[in-house]
Structure 1
Amino acid sequence: MLNMLRRPQVTPAMLAEGLSALGLDGTQHAIVHASLRAFGQVEGGAPALLGELMRRTATLSAPSFTYATLLRAPTSTIYAHFSRESRVSRDIGRLPQLLVERPDALRSFHPALSFVAVGQEARAVVEAQSLLSPYGPIGALYDLDAVALLLGVDHSSNTTLHYGEYLAGVPLLTRYVPLSGQVVPTAFPNCSADFENIAPHVQGHHVTVGRAQLSAYRVRDLVDGVQAFLARHPEGMLCTYPSCRCQEVRRMIRADGLTPRTQLGRATGTLEIAGD
């Protein structure tokens, strides 16, 4: 009985079947957000999930954020510097860290909000980032007609939605990062705690593997859906926690409204890729 209880609940074959049911056949470009814990016990752990994802995508990308480098003011004490090998912040998940550790993966330059990608269009994705548009890689994925994968997580982990906010004209905050021996400003968004508000307004494909719901959405549908939603409800993606930076963004929206921005295109090439 004890051995039966210890048997892994999710096998690589089950992962492969679930990803196939979402329509992944090796030709798609994708951005992934995942929680291994949501599946239950996974045979082979995060490496097994990553292996199945790489077999079923042409390009696989993920946020690889490093919040330890983020500064509130240009005079704030610097506690960490970014490099190609900087560890991904724990709350972003294990999968992006495994991608960063791959020698064939490319990682963008942003000291706090980097993206990592591997595969056919990896360079186009990571080169689309700038300090003024840190979520530019989502714009590249939009142009590639990519899919956003939510594996055991909901929209509060869905980085793609921030790019929809950007295009809708949601005000961006200013934070600072150490870069090339200087402290420089960078755009920084509101939080994502209430991003689940968009769920009734976007359509995706869903399957269950183990205890986890796996979802796939077209990046274009998410980004376009957020823009349409915010045109009707400008504060609809902001949380209500009194101490959150969302309240600063809310005040800016109430003062000046939304000023929609233009899609940037696949590659801005503003700065070099980390490690190049």
Structure 2
Amino acid sequence: MFFNSPIKYNKSNLIEDFEHAGIKKGDCILLHSSLSRIGWVNGGAVTVITALLDVLGSEGTLVVPTHSGDNSDPSGWKNPPLPEEWWEKFREEMPAYDARTTPTFLMGVIPELLRNWPGAIRSDHPQTSFAAVGPLAKKITAGHALDCQLGERSPLARLEEVGAKVMLLGVTFNSCTAFHLAEYRNSPRLDKNRFVAMVDGSRQWVSVSDITFEDSDFGEIGCQVMKTGSFKEVSVGATHCWTFSIADAISTATTWMEAHRNNLA
């Protein structure tokens, strides 16, 4: 698929670049990625994952977002909208979230592969799960509350606790989920959220109150993150690799939102 790319990469190239990006053994990495942006990689997503795991070593942990946002009430679908006369039938037949089998939705090849990786553990939120491989996987994915997509009772807060790093591989700050944790801490707007889940062994539509996300200023927040001491940038294949501490991401986003989102109730 990518063979015509002018950039052709092997695992050894990736390992060298990840090390130059400041990744070291024992780190915990939250990876957001686009395989196609790298160019042609010998072995594709498997090579990217194994290269990162080799750099992290047996004491390191790799985490990816394995979101499945298509598990939602069809009345809210916009691109494209679903005709109203179909809503009830879709509600009746939508599969409930299953951490073992539910595929990712619009997340890319690497997260979809890692959720099935040997030893991978996945969190329990039907829409915003994360999967992790490594000794911290259970701690990071445990306790993901149904009414807390990306807040204090989600893997993002656990990643902050363990001092994780964020890696944006071929994607922009618009993909930086860590910024959403700051939203929970800055007078978020609440709305109803619905999805299908297994509750006490029974398939149910669940309605919860959760925040309404606003990511239009994530690029501007990212520009501030690039000024922090933890930020590093290297080239990986045909694209960029940005790494920084999740603590810097969250604190920068919190400061920005406090200053620029005064209209939030």
Q: Same fold (TM over 0.5)?
A: yes
Structure 2 residue ranges without an equivalent (≥5): 77-86
User: 1:126-141, aligned counterparts within 5 Å?
Assistant: 126-135=141-150, 136-141=154-159
* Shift of residue 126, structure 1, vs aligned partner: 0.6
Please list the CA deviations of residues 228-253 of structure 1 after superposition, one character each: whole Å capped at 9, or x if unmatched.
00110017xxxxxxxxxxxxxx7xx2
Distance 1:25 1:55, change over 3 A: same
* Shift of residue 7, structure 1, vs aligned partner: 7.6
User: 1:1-276, aligned counterparts within 5 Å?
Assistant: 9-57=8-56, 58-71=60-73, 77-78=90-91, 79-83=94-98, 84-89=100-105, 91-135=106-150, 136-180=154-198, 181-186=203-208, 187-202=210-225, 203=228, 204-234=231-261, 253=264, 256=265
Distance in 1 (CA, whole Å) between partners of 2:110 and 2:193 is 26
Please list the CA deviations of residues 30-66 of structure 1 after superposition, one character each: whole Å capped at 9, or x if unmatched.
1100101111111111110010111223111111011
Q: State the AA in 1 paired with 2:147.
A: L
Alpha carbons 2:6, 2:39 under 8 Å: kept: no
TM (normalized to structure 1)? 0.78
Q: State the AA in 2 paired with 1:162.
A: H
* Shift of residue 193, structure 1, vs aligned partner: 4.9
Higher strand share: 2
- RMSD, aligned CA: 2.2
Q: State the AA in 2 paired with 1:208.
A: S
Q: Which moved more, 1:68-77 or 1:14-23?
A: 68-77
Q: Which moved more, 1:225-234 or 1:189-198?
A: 189-198
Q: State the AA in 1 paired with 2:205.
A: V
Distance in 1 (CA, whole Å) between partners of 2:214 and 2:114 is 24
Structure 1 residue ranges without an equivalent (≥5): 236-249, 257-276
Distance 1:188 1:66, change over 3 A: farther
Please list the CA deviations of residues 57-101 of structure 1 after superposition, one character each: whole Å capped at 9, or x if unmatched.
311111101122112669864223211211111x21111111111
TM (normalized to structure 2)? 0.81
Distance in 1 (CA, whole Å) between partners of 2:136 and 2:236 is 28
Please list the CA deviations of residues 96-127 of structure 1 after superposition, one character each: whole Å capped at 9, or x if unmatched.
11111123111111111111111011011111
Aligned twin of 2:82:
none
Distance in 2 (CA, whole Å) between partners of 1:85 and 1:13 is 32
* Shift of residue 133, structure 1, vs aligned partner: 1.8
* Shift of residue 5, structure 1, vs aligned partner: 6.2
Distance in 2 (CA, whole Å) between partners of 1:33 and 1:160 is 11
Identity of counterpart residues, as a percentage?
A: 24
Count of residue pairs brought into register by the alignment: 234
